[in-house]
Amino acid sequence: MKVLFVAAEAAPIVKVGGLGDVAGSLPPSLMRLGVDIRVAIPWYPDIDAVTWKISENKGVGETRLGDTDVPVYLLSRDVFANTGKHEAIVGTDEEEKWFAGFCAAIIEFIRGSDWKPDVFHGNDWHVAQALEHFEKATTEELRSWGYASANLASLVTIHNLSYHTEVLRKAILSADLINAVSPSYAREILTEEFCEGLCAELNERKVDLSGVINGIDYGFWDPKKDAFISSQYGGENWMEGKKRNKEALVAKLGFSANDRLLLGFVGRLDPHQKGVLVLAGAIERLVNMGCQVVILGSGNARAEKALQQVCERHPESCKALLKYDEALAHQIYAGADALVIPSRFEPCGLIQMIAMKYGTLPIAHAVGGLKDTIQDGKNGILYENYDSSAFVQAVERAYRMFTDQGSQWGNMVQSAMKADFSWDRSAQEYVKLYERALEKSKNTHSMSLRHI
């Protein structure tokens, strides 16, 4: 089976968030299952041709995904030529124009390539116009591209409904199948609270919508071989390992003590999704409780200012680092005791899975993928209401467990480190979705031929 996997970013080549992690780690897992998978991403100007050994063929850049054998195509260099460094999406009209250009390049690529995908697997709103084109393409058009049976099945994965929703709407209406990145999010997006105005469209396509939980790449996220952290460790020596990493982190942050409950936050500072104002509103109480807080993230001026201001009042126990910094993210996963995730919605969330692998307990709002991956009181802490008080109460619960001399905290850390969020199972679910999409598009095609 030949699959073209198309995304706005793919780690390690280019990444600003979880989509990059997924596009960097799901395709290699699919390749191990025998899928002939290739990845296409935009050719951003900040992708270094030498580092990634890019060769050019008729205007298309060609490389591999990190140290894997998965081929990567870099498309539409001209469209992105003046966009500068690849940043998180903020919702401008300009972004829509860039990705419309990217979609035109995808169509052109499939049309002109000798390698014809059976399945087009697109991610998020960025691929909408391409999906729309495939849906409307006539049998003659697809035949002229080289499709013998005029078949190009499609799947769109929803990582986040909240960006360029009107464009994403087209993708939802055009793809053969749709999936969200966790079973809970797949259910939530059928409701007013989470559908971002697309309730009618999503409910119309309910039978074609499923949820597949994301995995993480343990080749990259592993405290045993993580070169970004000062002391490597595993389940057998987590206590010593985390203590050393915490000491290093606390020293780096300039905090006064290293025996406090150290809370980390890593993520895009999007107030609509990530609960950053809930966090800002809680910090005073967290610090008074005796916690230390380190925040790593950027992306929204209002949130940045709110966090910066409250941390400046408590420099000995709160620090907001307003930037994207891969090494520091790893140091926080390794050195913090708990990772706070006060998101209003979370389609899947990778940070809780990463944190667990590093023995850092997630304290999270029970929503979306967070409630599909965290077991309250067993490998983390979940709380129900989306507000600062509920969040502070959850941290208080954690604080009592952490300072208690009993074994509950340690047992939870060990259980978190043992949890398996590798891609193996989910990659198999994607293969089944590809087969279903092919089946569906064949049936649709033979039905439409019957109508002729």
Residues annotated within a binding site for ADP-alpha-D-glucose: 15
3-state per-residue secondary structure call for 89-137: CCCCHHHHHHHHHHHHHHHHHHHHCCCCCCEEEEECHHHHHHHHHHHHC
**Is residue 254 packed enough to be buried (19+ CB in 10 Å), middle (13-18) or exposed (0-12)?**
exposed
Query: Rounded to the nearest whole angstrom, what is the least distance from the CB of residue 101 to ligand ADP in the complex?
Result: 24
Please report which residue ranges of 254-387 form alpha helices under DSSP H.
276-289, 301-312, 326-335, 351-357, 368-373
Site string for ligand ADP, 344-383 (x = CB under 6 A): ----xxxx--------------------------------
Cβ distance 362 to 355 under 8 Å?
A: yes
Q: Which is nearer to ligand ADP, 19 or 150 (CB)?
A: 19
Phi–psi pair at 40, nearest 5 degrees: -125, 130
**Binding positions:** 15
ω into 12 cis (within 30 of 0): yes
267 touches ligand ADP by CB under 6 A: yes
Q: How far is the CB of 53 from ligand ADP (least distance, A)?
A: 24
Closest CB 39 distance from ligand ADP, rounded Å: 17
Reference 364, options 347, 345, 343; nearest CA is: 343
Residues in contact with ligand ADP, shown as a per-residue x/- string from 282 to 321 under the rule CB under 6 A = --------------xxx-----------------------
- Over the window 103 to 142, marking each residue x when it contacts ligand ADP by CB under 6 A and - when it does not, the resulting string is ----------------------------------------
Pick 255 or 324: Cβ nearer ligand ADP: 324
Collapsing DSSP to helix, strand or coil, 413 comes out as: helix
In which residue are the tokens 């590809």 written? 434
State which residue, 333 or 434, has the beta carbon closest to ligand ADP.
333
Short-list 412, 416, 418, 414, CA closest to 400 = 412
CB of 59 to ligand ADP, least distance (A): 30
As a whole number of angstroms, the distance between CA 369 and CA 353 comes to 10
Choose one: 17-25, 166-174, 222-230, 255-263; the region binding ligand ADP (CB under 6 A). Answer: 17-25
Restricting to residues 230-259, name those near ligand ADP by CB under 6 A.
Answer: none
Does residue 21 touch ligand ADP according to CB under 6 A? Answer: yes
- CA of 396: how far to CAs of 36, 77, 381, 383, in Å? 49, 50, 11, 11
Interacting residue with ligand ADP among 35, 180, 329, 381 (CB under 6 A) = 329
Q: How far is the CB of 346 from ligand ADP (least distance, A)?
A: 7
14 touches ligand ADP (CB under 6 A): no
Min dist CB 266 to ligand ADP, Å, is 5
Q: Which is nearer to ligand ADP, 241 or 267 (CB)?
A: 267
Residue from 6, 9, 18, 127 binding ligand ADP (CB under 6 A): 18
Q: What are phi and psi of 214, to 5 degrees?
A: -70, 160
C-alpha dihedral, 188 to 192 to 197 to 199, nearest 10°: 70
Stretch that binds ligand ADP, among 15-23, 53-61, 99-107, 205-213 (CB under 6 A): 15-23
- Phi, psi (rounded to 5 degrees) for 13: -70, -50
Q: How many beta carbons lie within 10 A of that of residue 408, not counting itself?
A: 13
- Using CB under 6 A as the binding rule, the residues of this chain from 179 to 198 that contact ligand ADP are none
Which residues are near ligand ADP by CB under 6 A? 17-19, 21, 266-268, 296-298, 324-326, 329, 348-351
